[in-house]
Each structure stands twice: as structure tokens, then as C-alpha cells.
Amino acid sequence: MIIWIVIGVIVVLLIAVWAIYNGLIKARVRVDEALSDITVQEKRRLDLIPNLIETVKGYAKHEKSTFEEVTKARSAVMNTPEGDLGKRAENENMLSSTLKSLFAVSENYPDLKANESFLSLQSELTDTEDKIQASRRFYNGNVRDFNMKLQVFPTNMLGGMLGFKSRDFYDVAESEKEAVKKAPEVKF
């Protein structure tokens, strides 16, 4: 009789470990998928940038420094080491910033602002930026869920033993955090 109780307890424990392990695997795959979604959208943006620069160059030949900054930022993103999420976020934020300066240049050229190609590229890039932000939020939500799973009982006891480690959130650069804390200056 006692042997059946021991066997029953062992079976229940094995089923619990199996369920916890599978839950962690599913959560980890969701995090990886979300990170992949960010990569896809960032790649789309990187592919659009050369076309945008060429379109703007035709109108704004003397804005060479802006083009160089955008190209340099794009290269930094493309050369970010795989897995370095902090550096990747920093480089992506730098690219977003330089793209804003490129669009600011376009404000000085009415013909460029009316150019169909430029407007189409600008629209696609804006759409892509929105998708990147949504992908980052989705990724961070999945990281939150995964990290919480790793921290709650009984998963916290088994997660580490099974080789699972918490993930980092996709975060904005410190300079952008400081900019958000300051109140915007409005002048009329």
C-alpha cells in the first residue's frame, strides 16, 4: 500500500515538473518570437533608409552631414553584436534620432515634401517605426510574463535547475529617459 502512495507522489511530482518545464519553454519561445518580430521590422527600416536618402539627396545636395549621420547610424545598427540587447537598443534609438533630423531637412525643401516617392517612403518609414514600437511593447510584455514565471513558486525552484534565465527588457537609452523626465518648453 505504501509503495503505491510513493509511486503516486512521484508520478504527481513528475507531471508537475513536466508542466512547469513546458510552460517555461512556451514562454521562452514567445519571448524569442517577439524579439524576432522586432528584428524583422528593424530590417525593414534599414532597407528603406538607402532609398529615402537617395530621394532626399536629389533635392538637398548640401546636407551631406545629415546623410553621413544617418548612414553611420544605420551601419552601427547593422553591426551590433548578436545578443547585445542593450547596445542594440542604443543603436536603434540613435538611428531613430538621425532619421528625425533627415525629415527635418525635408522641411526646408517644398519640392521634396511634395515628391511622391519621398512621401511614400516617409509614410512607410513612419508605419515601420510604429510597428517597431509595437513589437518592442509586445516583446517587453512577453519578457515580463516569462520573468514572472521564473520568479513565482514552484517555478522559481525548478527554473534555474532546468537552465532558464530571466531576460532583459528592451529599453530606451538613458539620454532619452532624461529627456522624457524634463517638461517640454513651449514658446509662442
Distance between start and end Cα atoms, the chain: 86
**What pLDDT score does 181 carry?**
52
pTM of the model: 0.71
**What pLDDT score does 176 carry?**
53
Q: Alpha-carbon distance 87 to 108, whole Å?
A: 33
**What pLDDT score does 173 carry?**
57
**What pLDDT score does 184 carry?**
46
Confirm if 107 and 113 have CB atoms less than 8 A apart. Answer: yes
Q: Alpha-carbon distance 112 to 109, whole Å?
A: 5
Residue 147 CB-half CA count within 13 A: 10
Q: What is the DSSP secondary-structure string of the chain? A: -HHHHHHHHHHHHHHHHHHHHHHHHHHHHHHHHHHHHHHHHHHHHHHHHHHHHHHHHTT-TT-HHHHHHHHHHHHHHHTPPTT-HHHHHHHHHHHHHHHHHHHHHHTT-HHHHH-HHHHHHHHHHHHHHHHHHHHHHHHHHHHHHHHHHHHSTTHHHHHTTTT----------HHHHHHHHSPPP---
Per-residue pLDDT of the chain (188 residues; tens, 9 = 90+): 899 999 999 999 999 999 999 999 999 999 999 999 988 998 888 888 888 878 777 766 667 777 788 888 888 888 888 878 888 888 888 888 888 887 777 777 777 767 777 778 888 888 888 999 999 999 999 999 999 999 998 888 888 888 899 999 987 655 455 544 554 454 43
